[in-house]
């Protein structure tokens, strides 16, 4: 995540809670959870007298309301208060919708306004029965539904709050010998800060003094502490362990890793989904259908029955058809999915690309640094006349003094096998060949396999076979010799990651075939592909050819490409789903659709599984939210009246709210998806 562009970070501050431009939440622009809660409670308390004085309730429960002068006006007056106090939110929403596309707020407003105006007209002399108790209970249930909705959306959006909590507010700045506590916004790049044991790291920086360990679980999901010493990077929000560290500030404000993660999470939660567009269209048509069916219901029932019954049916149709569940169906899945992804170190930059996960057939990987560790390791040791440990002890003694990158692989192998290094005198490097020195009074040389051949040293048949085998696998070979013969050969290769083996199996289980792209020779590519069980691989690929290969794979089916470097950027853009791994380079991140915080290829499989699960939930929610109306609207219109079954507006509101609850619960079950 190193030096990401701050193109969008500047906008980060401006659109933090502004949901108006984003699908799904715009109906609640300017509304708060507390407002719905307070209006619900006040309206509910004011509704009790309305129910008490309602003639319907008196008839059902067989009681007589206590009369007092003006008691006839209790219901109309309280209904007016509830309509304007509790219902005004919906009327404002409808007014906003009228300027764009009509939807949920329009239907609710129509329903409550029809019931309200008709009931007032009855109060002032029109013949019929008022709808006061239906009106107030309808508003109560609507307020409750919206309160629950906002609570669930906010609950799922907590990922951002949790990340924000990781931001400490002050830092200990070192000025000469003095320590001063300063707010974070006063820190500048290059400042020296002190991080005491157990404290959260306040800013991104580079350790200049001290040794400690830091828990970076929030960033990588890895619970084991990471050692921090001079030259290592520390990131905002990580928790310092047992030692005090002095660090130089490298990134401040919006540029810190944590701020950038917060920006990516927020962008993903606010980003439009293609399903959201579908849901919005469905909500629009549902609104038009509801108004049409409502009008038709009114005309039919007024000719068959009376005005009271006709208005009751019309109001119920308008209420039950509210595309409330539709409005929630997609945003809730998005916020839940994004929160789970962030928790697993998967940052979604492009929502639409993430949703393409369900169509992915091929996963192409850049080999070096993704499927392999990007550093050499000793694969095999071939010896002649001495033990492997002794060969390693002599080679390490010489190579530990060498600067060559392959030398480090031999030193590392000796450390892993706990081999004690021998003591060298008269060490010298021979340019282009290797190194030599005297160990236990005898001259030993370590270097290219051509060196002993040039010196005319003996190569045993066993070593010759080993050399041929190593070369056929594309491995690099280092030879160890004494004064007259070759003693050992070390075959070195870029180490395959253990997690890459699991990845290929994990992808196969979800029907995705892995492909490998590398600039290495065919022999190297073949060895790694065989080791990993990858059937398709492309060797000697130039950076510009990666795009061509991704295009070829795309022609056969959806393709995901995973890379970490600058030369991967064009291929990341070309793929249906571009994944930057290990937080990659700046360019890779800006070109990718998904950013994996950890350097773990297994996360590609996890991301695809989560993408598929998110898709399924969206489709299920859409089907439910639209499908239930097929039964609900005709029932509300009174088609079952001949069977003696009629839905009142309040019961219609309960069914509509239940539909919303089902959609919300279904979105929450996303949290139970097994990603491993």
Q: Are 135 and 81 spatial neighbours (Cβ–Cβ below 8 Å)?
A: no
**Which residues, 6+ apart, have CB-to-CB distance to 191 below 8 Å?**
173, 174, 248, 249
CA separation for the pair 278, 193 (Å, rounded): 51
- 558-563 and 425-430 strand pairing: unpaired
Positive or negative CA dihedral for 604, 609, 612, 613?
A: negative
CA separation for the pair 487, 479 (Å, rounded): 8
CA separation for the pair 357, 360 (Å, rounded): 5
366, 520, 564, 603: the catalytic one is: 366
CA separation for the pair 361, 510 (Å, rounded): 9
Query: Bridge partners of 173?
Result: 180, 193
CA separation for the pair 114, 118 (Å, rounded): 6
- Determine the Cα angle at 271 with ends 268 and 274, to 5°: 120
CA-nearest of 161, 145, 595 to 347 is 595
Q: Are 241 and 215 spatial neighbours (Cβ–Cβ below 8 Å)?
A: yes
Q: Are 330 and 622 spatial neighbours (Cβ–Cβ below 8 Å)?
A: yes
Tokens representing 520 are: 């290495």
Tokens representing 497 are: 């990651």
CA-nearest of 331, 355, 345 to 155 is 331
Q: Are 322 and 656 spatial neighbours (Cβ–Cβ below 8 Å)?
A: yes
Q: Strand, helix or coil at 14?
A: coil
3-state SS, one letter per residue, for 637-648: HCCCHHHCCCCC
CA 602 to chain centre: 15
Q: Is 366 one of the annotated active-site residues of the chain? A: yes
Give the active site residues: 366
């Amino acid at each position: 995540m190193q030096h990401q562009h701050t193109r969008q970070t500047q906008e980060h501050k401006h659109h933090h809670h502004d949901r108006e431009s984003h699908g799904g939440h715009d109906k609640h622009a300017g509304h708060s959870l507390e407002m719905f809660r307070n209006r619900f409670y006040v309206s509910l308390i004011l509704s009790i007298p309305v129910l008490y004085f309602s003639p319907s309730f008196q008839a059902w429960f067989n009681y007589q309301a206590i009369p007092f002068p003006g008691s006839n006006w209790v219901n109309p007056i309280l209904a007016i208060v509830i309509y304007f106090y509790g219902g005004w939110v919906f009327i404002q929403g409808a007014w906003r919708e009228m300027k764009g596309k009509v939807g949920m707020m329009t239907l609710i407003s129509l329903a409550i306004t029809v019931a309200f105006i008709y009931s007032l007209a009855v109060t002032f002399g029109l013949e019929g029965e008022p709808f006061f108790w239906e009106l107030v209970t309808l508003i109560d249930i609507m307020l409750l539904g919206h309160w629950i909705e906002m609570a669930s959306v906010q609950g799922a959006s907590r990922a951002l709050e949790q990340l924000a909590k990781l931001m400490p507010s002050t830092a200990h700045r070192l000025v000469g010998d003095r320590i001063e506590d300063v707010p974070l916004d006063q820190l500048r790049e290059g400042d020296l800060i002190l991080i005491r044991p157990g404290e959260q790291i306040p800013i991104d920086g580079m350790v200049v003094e001290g040794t400690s360990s830091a828990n970076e679980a929030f960033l990588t999901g890895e619970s084991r502490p990471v050692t921090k010493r001079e030259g290592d990077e520390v990131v905002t929000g990580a928790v310092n362990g047992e030692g005090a560290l002095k660090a130089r500030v490298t990134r401040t404000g919006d540029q810190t890793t944590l701020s950038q993660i917060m920006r990516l999470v927020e962008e993903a939660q606010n980003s439009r989904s293609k399903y959201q567009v579908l849901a919005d269209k469905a909500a629009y048509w549902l609104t038009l259908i509801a108004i049409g069916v409502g009008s038709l219901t009114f005309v039919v029932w007024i000719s068959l029955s009376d005005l009271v019954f006709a208005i009751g049916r019309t109001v119920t149709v308008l209420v039950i058809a509210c595309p409330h569940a539709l409005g929630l169906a997609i945003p809730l899945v998005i916020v839940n999915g994004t929160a789970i992804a962030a928790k697993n170190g998967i940052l979604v930059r492009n929502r639409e690309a993430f949703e393409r996960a369900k169509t992915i057939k091929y996963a192409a990987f850049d080999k070096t640094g993704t499927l392999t560790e990007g550093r050499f390791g000793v694969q095999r040791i071939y010896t002649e006349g001495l033990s492997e440990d002794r060969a390693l002890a002599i080679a390490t003694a010489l190579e530990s003094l060498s600067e060559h990158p392959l030398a480090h692989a031999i030193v590392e192998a000796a450390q892993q096998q706990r081999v004690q290094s021998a003591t060298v005198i008269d060490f010298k490097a021979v340019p282009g060949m290797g190194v030599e020195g005297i160990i236990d009074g005898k001259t030993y040389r370590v270097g290219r396999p051509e060196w002993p051949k040039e010196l005319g040293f003996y190569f045993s048949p066993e070593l010759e076979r080993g050399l041929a085998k190593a070369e056929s696998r594309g491995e690099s070979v280092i030879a160890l010799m004494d004064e007259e013969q070759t003693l050992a050969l070390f075959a070195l290769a870029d180490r395959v990651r253990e997690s890459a083996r699991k990845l290929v199996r994990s992808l196969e289980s979800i029907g995705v075939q892995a492909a490998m792209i590398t600039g290495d020779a065919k022999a190297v590519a073949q060895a790694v592909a065989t080791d990993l069980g990858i059937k398709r691989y492309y060797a000697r690929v130039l950076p510009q050819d990666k795009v061509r290969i991704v295009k070829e794979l795309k022609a056969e089916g959806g393709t995901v490409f995973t890379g970490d470097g600058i030369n991967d950027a064009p291929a990341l853009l070309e793929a249906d789903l571009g994944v930057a791994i290990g937080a990659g380079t700046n360019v890779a991140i800006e070109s990718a659709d998904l950013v994996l915080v950890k350097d773990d290829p297994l996360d590609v499989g996890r991301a695809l599984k989560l993408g598929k699960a998110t898709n399924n939930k969206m489709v299920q929610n859409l089907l439910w939210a639209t499908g239930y109306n097929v039964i609900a609207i005709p029932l509300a219109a009174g088609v079952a009246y001949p069977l003696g079954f009629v839905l009142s507006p309040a019961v219609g509101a309960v069914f509509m709210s239940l539909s919303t609850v089902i959609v919300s619960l279904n979105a929450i079950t996303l949290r139970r998806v097994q990603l491993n």
